[in-house]
Amino acid sequence: MSTQAKQQQQTSISGFEPYVQKAGEEYMGAPMRAHFTKILNKWKLDLMQEVDRTVDHMKDEAANFPDPADRASQEEEFALELRARDRERKLIKKIDKTLELIQDEEYGWCESCGIEIGVKRLEARPTADLCIDCKTLAEIKEKQVGK
């Protein structure tokens, strides 16, 4: 695979180029924080636009079907959409919390052990607040408690 193809493959879904850390660059310095602020703001904007589309769709598609089966199908479709929007609403709150961490210069550090979370992990999940090791341990504990 060519270098250009690898770069295109690494481009995140949201259309951002992966951050390339320069030699000797401070972790979570101003350029890196600006990169993640841009990603998070774009993600939040996309989610907000999806909310608007859902509201418009529900207004446009709302109909009082005489057939109970048709009405039930429509209500189920709307319920699924509303559940998805509720998850997105919670994600927007998490994005806002993450943007505050960036502003306070506390972003990018594991809340559990205090080490760097890492640029690649943050690009994969910009709202991550645990390093991969602490997240793995938390998931193992969750599985053990859940049984």
Q: Where are the domains of the chain?
A: 27-106, 108-147
State the Cα–Cα distance between residues 41 and 43, nearest whole angstrom.
5
pTM, two decimal places = 0.77
Write out the two tokens for 52.
């608007």
At 8-30, the pLDDT tens digits run: 434 444 578 888 888 889 999 99
Which of the following CATH numbers is that of domain 27-106: 3.40.980.10, 1.20.120.910, 3.30.750.24, 2.60.40.10? 1.20.120.910
Beta bridge partners of 109: 116
Q: What is the pLDDT of residue 52?
A: 83
